[in-house]
Amino acid sequence: MTILYNNSLQKTTFFLTGFQGLEELHGWISIPFCSIYLIVIVGNLTILHIIRTDVTLHESMYYFLAMLALTDLGLCLSTLPTVMGIFWFDAREIGIHACFIQLFFIHTLSLVESSVLLSMSIDRYVAICNPLRYSTVLTPARIVRMGLSSVCRSALLIFPLPFLLKHFQYCRSHVLAHTYCLHLEIMKLACSSIIVNDIYGLFVVACTIGVDSLLIFLSYALILRTVLSIASRQERLRALNTCVSHICAVLLFYIPMIGLSLVHRFGEHLPRIVHLLMSYVYLLVPPLMNPIVYSIKTKQIRQRIAKKFEFIKLPRCFRQD
């Protein structure tokens, strides 16, 4: 599909792209995307509502889970307008400032999610390796500070990126390959040197995703050492079972991220749709699956959800005596 634009528009506008060549099917393609967004919003709002209204869940583990749900919800909402705008209204144009704002929120919330997963691993480490000090180490005030530090670290590291991009001259095509704005893709459209952005981007990834993943691995190495020292097999399984949901969340976040990085670095020969699908998996699968995993694997959450919906009963005429 050819997109025409004049010089004045070129200075202030980018053009987003859906599934190129399948524009006639965008209405049908929007159905699964709309369903995913709806499940993400309802699922994460349900987790937040249950934790907020149930006093027995006002513990550090569930506070961190609420942070994860809030982050997933924000990440979902940051891409929803442009994704559904393209599929429903063929709204491809996005102003450069709106594009940079979306880019800021997508990358900031991705880093926040990594930080929250690290905080959750620290919670599991203290609960298993030092249970007697659990309530004194992870106090509400300290949990709030951990949450705020995650947001501040992520926002401060991403904050320079839009300003670095703003100073570039974009003499190449303004057509982006995705339905949302990403730093790596916009950076490649610049006709001036991008070495500063490249180095700074690697620095941000190394000191956030890299450090977080290393510390998560270290925390689980210590957890495993503690669990293996427990004499009772049943107690070992019980301790490990408390970590299953978090391990699933970590895998759901890091595996698509690694896959997307490999596709970007070494998959230039792959069909364009592979790049698109990997980016959607990276941004949508963790927010979609996290509330489902925690609802299934966490007994307290599962019981509270069942209790919330117990008012939905069959009419008397359909009940069996």
Residue 10 scores a pLDDT above 50? no
Q: Which helix (H) or strand (E) holds 15?
A: strand 13-15
Question: Residue 188: is its pLDDT beyond 70?
Answer: yes
> Residue 89 above 70 pLDDT?
yes
Residue 296 one-letter amino acid = I
Separation in Å, CA 33 to CA 55, 103, 180, 181, 283: 35, 20, 14, 18, 12
| Phi, psi angle pair for 140, to nearest 5° | -55, -40
3-state secondary structure of 99: helix
How confident is the model over 202-213, as a mean pLDDT? 94
- The whole model's pTM is what? 0.91
CA-only gyration radius of the chain, Å: 22
265: nearest Cα among 202, 171, 197, 190: 202
- What sign does the CA torsion over 252, 255, 261, 264 have? negative
Task: Report whether pLDDT(25) > 90.
Answer: no
CATH of domain 18-300: 1.20.1070.10
What's the gap between Cα 246 and its chain centre? Answer: 14
Strand partners, 14: 94
Per-residue model confidence (pLDDT) at position 311: 58
Could you read off the pLDDT of 38-66 as tens digits, one per residue? 999 999 999 999 999 999 999 999 999 99
Average pLDDT over all residues of the chain: 89
What are the pLDDT digits (tens) for 227-262? 999 878 898 999 899 899 999 999 999 999 988 888
| One-character DSSP codes across 261-276 | HHHHHH-TTS-HHHHH
Q: What is the mean pLDDT of residues 216-224?
A: 96
Compare 192 and 145 and report the one with higher pLDDT: 145
What tokens appear for 76 in the block?
């979902």
Taking the C-alpha atoms of residue 115 and residue 117, their distance in angstroms, rounded to an integer, is 5
pLDDT tens per residue across span 303-315: 888 887 775 554 5
Q: Where are the domains of the chain?
A: 18-300
For residues 39 and 11, what is the distance between their CA atoms, to the nearest angstrom? 37
Residue pair 34/40 in contact (Cβ under 8 Å)? The answer is no
Looking at the chain, the number of H-run helices and the number of E-run strands are: 14, 2
CA dist., res. 159 & res. 166, Å (int) = 12
Cβ(18)–Cβ(178) under 8 Å?
Answer: no
pLDDT reported for residue 313: 53
Q: Is the dihedral of CA 275, 280, 286, 292 positive or negative?
A: negative
Give me the amino acid identity at 10.
Q
Residue 177 phi, psi dihedral angles, 5° rounding = -85, -10
Q: What is the predicted pLDDT for the residue at 262? A: 83
Query: Given this model, what pLDDT does residue 316 score?
Result: 53
pLDDT of residue 318: 43
Rounded distance between C-alpha atoms, residue 147 and residue 112, angstroms = 9
